[in-house]
Structure 1
Amino acid sequence: MPSAVRCCHRGRRQGHMNLKEFAQAIGMSQTTVSRALSGYPEVKPETRQRILKLADELGYHPNRSAAGLATGRAGAVGIVLKEATGFDPNTTEFMAGLGTRLETGQIDILITVVDNEAGELAAYRRLAASKRVDAVIVHTPKTGDGRMAFLKALGMPFIVHGRGVEGEGYPWLDIDNFGAVHRATSYLLQLGHRQIGLINGARGDVFAEHRLAGYRKAMKDYGISAPERWIVHGPFTDDVGYRATQDFLALPDPPTALLAGSMMTALGVMRAVRSAGLALGADISLIAHDDVFNYINADNMVPTVSTTRSSMREAGARIGDLLLQMLSGRDISKFSEIWPVELVLRESTCPPPVNR
């Protein structure tokens, strides 16, 4: 089979093979190939990966123009980012997974940058009126979020990256933020820590509220009512991590362990700990979230950093799969999925110092 495929490839210019010819070349049915490229879950993962690999080798790409004329679709999905918070390593990882997956279906991504929530709604209205995209991705849902109802009223298909509302008739994908922070906090408590600081996301963001609830529940399980001075909310940046840790260490009852909402925040925590003349993993413990970046590797830090882990790139790819299913006509309005989060223990966690 592989030799026959390569022979067919040599005799044909890349990009001019149609679905029927591609299916014949790899010895599969058109239905299987079409469903695999459209992200249908009935296709086994190994079969989908094989088809994607062969499509890349043969230079096969669905004819986007013909498909657009036949279906009336734009061949693109949209995502609206707020300028202040939209560009960070998490977004980069997510877009990498999303873009790679959508490319298999020749679907483009249209990114719109706005200043505020009013600008975001206006952007959705423009996208719906112009018909430049077939669906949009709503990210970072908030408590009482009105964007989903707004998009429904516009008749714009969408999927939510983050926790949606059960039974509201739209698809969403999220990680178990409550469970991740509850487990991390519980582990620190088991080590003997009783003063634990949390550097969380912005208030009102659903993921941050779930993380806060997981933290409070774990502390309550040990009979501890965590004061507000042990909790900081803000964007996930090195500066926020640095300043929050400085403030924590200046308290009369400073935390002996910290939970950082991202690896970027953790970099600031580590810098502040060193500046204070303390040793991470000895004088103070740290657990960070999201050690999934190639350029910020928790295993290469000194000391290595304990983390909760969930791949943003894989989440992007999964949402890409769901969008391809949606655009192929499949009803995924009742879809919801919550991914577990792994706790990876390294050198930055230890029992609290004896004198504390």
Structure 2
Amino acid sequence: MGNMVSHDETRSEDAPAQPPVRPTLKTIARLAGLGVTTVSRALHDAPDIGEETKARVRRLAESLGYQPNRAGVRLRTGRSHVIALVLATEAEELGINSQLIYGISEALSSLTYQLVVMLHDPSADPLGPVRSIVEAGAADGILFARIEPDDARVRFLTERGVPFATHGRTDMGIVHPYFDFDNEAYAESAVKRLASLGRRRLALVGPPPHLAYARHMATGFCRGISTLGLEKVSVEGIDTDSPHERIQAEVQRLMQRADRPDGIVSGGAVAALSVTAGAEAAGLVLGGDFDVVVKESSDLFRKFRPAIETAREDFRAAGRWLAQAIVGRIEGTADADIHFLDVPRIEVSETMDERVVAGGIR
């Protein structure tokens, strides 16, 4: 009898392993010694819940791997607790998209919202993916970039009353949340920096002309040229979205002219590399025969091409701000007119300073 195995024990050994029980609000409430309603409000950052309680509830939720039942949340509240980020596939330049996503995810990590990224072909109708999200009720709020001066997405979402925020701003007069980099100030300061290095004939390789920030950049560039009495050299047929080989070939041709520019302002990091390669292919020396200023979101140039002047554009910070703005709009805690304009600063390299002091450019 001592070796007898009970029927229950045999069934236990033969039965398949049961999946782990998914933690719920009740699980967190029991472990925290709180009510379910208090836990729910703490996870939603309710203002009447103490910060210490919120932190304790969030730590428990994270340690348990808690994820809200989105179907249940939607039935109870009419919300999906999903935020959609719409990005153009060709806009990924040296990790820009990933930095923006990281910033948004960072800000949402302590909240109950899930980020869904939708990629679209930039040559197709940009309204298409936004309309699909709205018609399917797939998200409570939408974030998007590559804004046009008269942007159909902004008008559509405003008319539908759907919360949204943009990376960039329109000229439409429609009030909405946006985070933007001051490209007008960037281009003007880039011109001034090139002038301080003795450059007198300047060219701009800017963004695609249909985008709002292309106009801002061109305005600042032209104002800087006019204010300082410099000469503008036109660049035809290329922009920062052009294929790298095309930019390089066009700049090489441009730099072989007698009236070539000796300073170039670039609207994008990859374009700046192509510009530099094209000028060097024409036999010119960076920092001697010509200079380039670019805005970038990483330390690429400072590490590998320190002779190129840079202005910092922080996409991670932009992502954090946009996430906070869209959650505020969804929950009714943020006004429609909230915005942030990031003012650039040219980061002067030591190489440039030494060259100016030595009188190497004149």
Match of 1:8 in 2: none
Pick closer, same or farther for the CA change 1:225–1:249 going to 2, 3 Å: closer
Match of 2:153 in 1: 147
Matched, 1:276 2:276: no
**Partners in 1 of 2:100 and 2:275 — Cα distance?**
24
Q: Which amino acid aligns with 2:342?
A: W
Pick closer, same or farther for the CA change 1:31–1:132 going to 2, 3 Å: closer
Cα deviation per residue 1:94-135 (whole Å; 9 max; x = unaligned)?
Answer: 1222233334334131414246453x3233322222111112
Deviation at 1:263, TM superposition (A): 1.7
Match of 1:308 in 2: 311
Secondary structure of 2:157's counterpart equals: helix
Deviates more, 1:277-286 or 1:98-107: 98-107
Match of 1:212 in 2: 218
Pick closer, same or farther for the CA change 1:55–1:264 going to 2, 3 Å: farther
Pick closer, same or farther for the CA change 1:202–1:21 going to 2, 3 Å: farther
Determine if contact 2:100/2:315 at 8 Å carries over to the other structure: yes
> In the TM superposition, what are the counterparts of 1:48-67 in structure 2 within 5 Å?
54=59, 58-59=63-64, 61=66, 63-65=68-70, 66-67=72-73
Q: Which amino acid aligns with 1:288?
A: V
Deviation at 1:200, TM superposition (A): 0.7
Matched, 1:261 2:264: no
**Partners in 2 of 1:204 and 1:230 — Cα distance?**
15
**Partners in 1 of 2:24 and 2:333 — Cα distance?**
28
Determine if contact 1:80/1:114 at 8 Å carries over to the other structure: no
Determine if contact 2:140/2:162 at 8 Å carries over to the other structure: yes
In structure 1, runs of 5+ residues without a counterpart are 1-12
Determine if contact 1:135/1:158 at 8 Å carries over to the other structure: yes
Deviates more, 1:195-204 or 1:277-286: 277-286
**Partners in 1 of 2:303 and 2:40 — Cα distance?**
46
Q: Which amino acid aligns with 2:216?
A: H
Pick closer, same or farther for the CA change 1:237–1:335 going to 2, 3 Å: farther
Determine if contact 1:171/1:336 at 8 Å carries over to the other structure: yes
Determine if contact 1:139/1:160 at 8 Å carries over to the other structure: yes
Cα deviation per residue 1:275-315 (whole Å; 9 max; x = unaligned)?
Answer: 3333212222121111x23xx62222144432011211211
**Partners in 2 of 1:15 and 1:238 — Cα distance?**
50
Q: Which amino acid aligns with 2:197?
A: L
CA RMSD of aligned residues (A): 3.8
In structure 2, runs of 5+ residues without a counterpart are 1-20
**Partners in 1 of 2:216 and 2:240 — Cα distance?**
15
Deviation at 1:316, TM superposition (A): 1.1
Match of 2:321 in 1: 318
Secondary structure of 1:228's counterpart equals: coil
**Partners in 2 of 1:34 and 1:249 — Cα distance?**
59
Match of 2:168 in 1: 162
Pick closer, same or farther for the CA change 1:106–1:148 going to 2, 3 Å: closer
Pick closer, same or farther for the CA change 1:166–1:214 going to 2, 3 Å: same
Matched, 1:108 2:111: no
Cα deviation per residue 1:13-40 (whole Å; 9 max; x = unaligned)?
Answer: 9955667578779xxx96995465x8x9
Deviation at 1:204, TM superposition (A): 2.2
Q: TM-score, normalised by structure 2?
A: 0.77
**Partners in 1 of 2:307 and 2:266 — Cα distance?**
14
Pick closer, same or farther for the CA change 1:264–1:353 going to 2, 3 Å: farther
Determine if contact 2:206/2:239 at 8 Å carries over to the other structure: yes
Cα deviation per residue 1:70-107 (whole Å; 9 max; x = unaligned)?
Answer: 22112222233445x34433223212222333343341
Determine if contact 2:178/2:340 at 8 Å carries over to the other structure: yes
Percent identity of paired positions between Structure 1 and Structure 2:
18
**Partners in 1 of 2:264 and 2:83 — Cα distance?**
39
Cα deviation per residue 1:259-278 (whole Å; 9 max; x = unaligned)?
Answer: 12222112212322333333
Q: Which amino acid aligns with 2:86?
A: V
Secondary structure of 2:83's counterpart equals: strand
Match of 2:17 in 1: none
Secondary structure of 1:99's counterpart equals: helix
Match of 1:335 in 2: 338
Larger Cα-atom Rg:
2
Deviation at 1:173, TM superposition (A): 1.2
Cα deviation per residue 1:154-173 (whole Å; 9 max; x = unaligned)?
Answer: 33321111023585232111
Determine if contact 2:180/2:341 at 8 Å carries over to the other structure: yes
Match of 2:13 in 1: none
